[in-house]
Amino acid sequence: MASFLTRLQHLFRPAPEAPPPSPWQAGNIGPVRPKLSEPRLDDVERGIADRFHDLYYSKLDGGMGLHTIVLSWMGYEMFKCPLDLWTYQELMVTHRPDVIIETGTYKGGSALYLASICDMLDHGEIITIDIDTTHDAIRPRHPRITYLAGSSTDAGILDQVSACVGGRRNVMVILDSDHRRDHVADELRAYRGYVPVGGLLIVEDTNINGHPTYPGFGPGPWEAVDDFLAEDAAFVADRSCERFILTMNPRGYLRRVA
């Protein structure tokens, strides 16, 4: 009798309620943004932030030369400042780029980070370029990441990038390969055209060569940006992207305004 009743109860049990939509399905992802503005620092505060750059460059184990502390995303190494990664996340949620072009893949950790944000946005792909194939075997495989092997300014690579981007217009560019001024300047010329008005071209590691850290590097990204901004009025440095106070890319978040 008891089992008969149980069976009856089972038959007439109301259908389970549908689970609540995930935050992503509910459209809760972006573009709600906090108030963005560059923090105004006095000289003492600026000095503290500048000293932190030195610390971040000097505390890597193993004395690898020009390198910051190594971090990882899901087990894949990269050279970034976590505060910049947060800025990237905010920019991606706001801009929802169709494609991100990254020059300088290294071990693929930064490409994987960007691809993971794209997964959450359910939108976007990464094209990442590196001249060095040493790390090929250990780079993450991900359906949103395309690896290109060669120099970022090589004509053949530029053709491949163009073919991969196709007709997509909402492109974000991150330059993080050879940091010498001439190479960065060539990259700026080669990739500026991908960035739509309102979009971003990010030059990594403008802080070296004494801006404010690693004074012995020689002319690098900062100097290339200086020349670029002087000759190309379509771009300005968007310093609101530096609101977390510490960034490896001071004056490196370039926004296209025309």
Ligand X SMILES: C[S@@+](CC[C@H](N)C(=O)[O-])C[C@H]1O[C@@H](n2cnc3c(N)ncnc32)[C@H](O)[C@@H]1O
Residues that bind ligand X (CB under 6 A): 78-80, 103-106, 109-110, 129-132, 151-152, 176-178, 183
Q: For ligand X, which is the closer residue by CB, 8 or 74?
A: 74
Residue 191 or 228: which CB sits closer to ligand X? Answer: 191
Contact 255, 239 (CB under 8 A): no
Q: Which of 71/245 has CB closer to ligand X?
A: 71
With contact defined as beta carbons under 8 Å apart, do 123 and 132 qualify? no
Pairing relation of β-strands 235-237 and 253-256? antiparallel
Residue 249 Cβ vs ligand X, minimum distance, rounded to whole Å? 12
- Smallest gap, in angstroms, from Cβ of residue 143 to ligand X? 20
Q: What minimum distance in Å lies between the beta carbon of 179 and ligand X?
A: 7
Calculate the dihedral angle through the C-alpha atoms of 6, 7, 11, 14, rounding to the nearest 10 degrees: 20
Q: Is the Cβ–Cβ distance between 181 and 220 less than 8 Å? A: yes
Shortest distance (Å) from residue 173 CB to ligand X: 13
CA distance 67 to 78: 10
Nearer to ligand X, 48 or 155 (CB): 155
- Closest residue to ligand X, based on beta-carbon distance: 78
